[in-house]
Amino acid sequence: MTSIQVYGIPNCGTCKKALLWLQNNGIEYEFINTKENPPNRQMIQSWIESLGSQLMRNTSGQSYRSLGDEKKSWTNQEWLEAFSQDAMLLKRPLFVKDGIAILVGFKEDKISEKLI
């Protein structure tokens, strides 16, 4: 049995679309609200190792915009620190399958490729 976790926030439109897609395709998942249960450093580190910090950045969010220009030259380690302190910097939804981050964001063709 495959274990899938979806990290995001309930009022995120992209998360809602992704969860609806999972339900419509009969894929079982566990939804984790990152506002209420922010991921720990170790989890975020493993996600960065799987996906890279660039894909994981929520560049349209207020938290990201408030960071200032130095963020453009940050290393993965600096992003790890930032993500650990503010989960709203993480792009949503983030999909973890069998303990490994496989996808961030929601595009039907990409999720089909990774989950089906």
Is 79 in contact with 48 (CB distance < 8 Å)? yes
Q: How far apart are CA 113 and CA 78, in angstroms?
A: 31
Beta bridge mates, 5: 30, 96
Q: Which CATH superfamily is domain 4-115 in?
A: Glutaredoxin (3.40.30.10)
| pLDDT tens, position by position, 46-79 | 999 999 999 999 999 999 999 999 999 999 999 9
Q: Given pLDDT bands bounded at 50, 70 and 90, which one contains residue 9?
A: very high
Q: Please name the residues in contact with 31: beta carbons below 8 A apart, sequence gap of 6 or more.
A: 5, 6, 8, 10, 15, 19
